[in-house]
Structure 1
Amino acid sequence: MRAFKLLPACKDYLWGGDRLRTDFHVHSDLHPLAEAWVLSAHPDGPSVLPDGTTLPDYLAANPGAAGTHCASFEEFPVLVKLIDAKKDLSIQVHPSDDYALAHEGQYGKTEMWVVLDAEPDAFLYYGFRHTITPDEFAERIRNNTLPEVLNAVPVHKGDVFFIPSGTLHAICKGIVIAEIQQNSNVTYRIYDYGRLGADGKPRALHIPQAMAVTQLCPPAPQDFGPHLGSCRYFTTDAAAAPFTGAADEASFVHLLITAGEGTLEMDGETMPLAPGDSVFIPAGAGAYRVAGGCKALVTRV
Structure 2
Amino acid sequence: MKFYPLQFKPILKDRIWGGTKLQSVLNKEITSETTGESWELSTVPNDVSVVSNGDLKGKDLNELIELYPVEILGKSVLERFGKQFPLLFKFIDAKEDLSIQLHPNDELAQKRHNSFGKTEMWYVMQADKGSRLVVGFKKDSNKDEYLAKLASKELISLLDETEVKKGDIFFLETGTIHAIGGGVVIAEIQQTSDVTYRVYDWDRVDANGNGRELHTDLALDAINFNTTKAKVDYENKINHSNKTVHCDYFKTNVIPLEGKMNWEAHKGSFAVFMCTQGEFSLEVENTLYSYKMGDTVLLPAKIEKAIISGNANLLEVWI
Q: Following the alignment from structure 2 to structure 1, what is the Cα–Cα distance between the partners of residues 119 and 44? A: 15
Counterpart check, 1:73 vs 2:89: no
Counterpart check, 1:116 vs 2:125: yes
Counterpart check, 1:63 vs 2:65: no
Structure 1: segments with no counterpart, 5+ residues: none
> Where in structure 2 are the equivalents of 1:16-27 lying within 5 Å?
16-27=18-29
Shift of 1:224: 8.6
Aligned length: 301
Q: Following the alignment from structure 2 to structure 1, what is the Cα–Cα distance between the partners of residues 261 and 187? A: 20
Q: TM-score, normalised by structure 1?
A: 0.95
Q: Using the TM superposition, name which of 243-252 and 183-192 deviates more.
A: 243-252
Q: TM-score, normalised by structure 2?
A: 0.90
- Secondary structure, aligned partner of 2:140: coil
Would the alpha carbon gap of residues 134 and 248 (structure 1) be closer, same or farther in structure 2, given more than 3 Å must change? closer
Contact 1:256 / 1:278 at 8 angstroms: preserved in 2? yes
- Secondary structure, aligned partner of 1:294: strand
One-letter amino acid matched to 1:73: F
Shift of 1:62: 1.2
- Secondary structure, aligned partner of 2:221: helix
Would the alpha carbon gap of residues 188 and 221 (structure 1) be closer, same or farther in structure 2, given more than 3 Å must change? closer
Counterpart check, 1:195 vs 2:213: no
Shift of 1:274: 0.6
One-letter amino acid matched to 2:174: S
One-letter amino acid matched to 2:37: E
One-letter amino acid matched to 1:144: K
- Secondary structure, aligned partner of 2:15: coil
> Where in structure 2 are the equivalents of 1:113-192 lying within 5 Å?
113-192=122-201
Residue of 28, 41, 57 corresponding to 1:39: 41
Shift of 1:90: 0.1
Identity of aligned residues (%): 34
Would the alpha carbon gap of residues 222 and 33 (structure 1) be closer, same or farther in structure 2, given more than 3 Å must change? closer
- Secondary structure, aligned partner of 2:289: strand
Q: Using the TM superposition, name which of 153-162 and 55-64 deviates more.
A: 55-64
Q: Using the TM superposition, name which of 197-206 and 76-85 deviates more.
A: 197-206
Structure 2: segments with no counterpart, 5+ residues: 235-241
Counterpart check, 1:228 vs 2:235: no
Give the equivalent residue in structure 2 for 1:105. Answer: 114
One-letter amino acid matched to 1:70: V
- Secondary structure, aligned partner of 2:63: helix
Would the alpha carbon gap of residues 44 and 152 (structure 1) be closer, same or farther in structure 2, given more than 3 Å must change? farther
One-letter amino acid matched to 2:81: F
Q: Following the alignment from structure 2 to structure 1, what is the Cα–Cα distance between the partners of residues 229 and 96? A: 27
Shift of 1:198: 5.9
One-letter amino acid matched to 1:117: Q
Q: Following the alignment from structure 1 to structure 2, what is the Cα–Cα distance between the partners of residues 246 and 30? A: 40
Shift of 1:199: 5.3
- Secondary structure, aligned partner of 1:53: coil
Superposed CA RMSD in Å reads: 1.7
Residue of 257, 274, 278 corresponding to 2:296: 278
Counterpart check, 1:260 vs 2:278: yes
Contact 1:40 / 1:78 at 8 angstroms: preserved in 2? yes
Shift of 1:197: 3.6
- Secondary structure, aligned partner of 1:228: strand
Would the alpha carbon gap of residues 56 and 219 (structure 1) be closer, same or farther in structure 2, given more than 3 Å must change? same
One-letter amino acid matched to 1:76: F
Q: Using the TM superposition, name which of 217-226 and 27-36 deviates more.
A: 217-226
- Bigger proportion of residues as strand: 2
One-letter amino acid matched to 2:195: V
Counterpart check, 1:54 vs 2:70: no
- Secondary structure, aligned partner of 1:209: helix
Give the equivalent residue in structure 2 for 1:239. Answer: 255
Shift of 1:262: 2.1
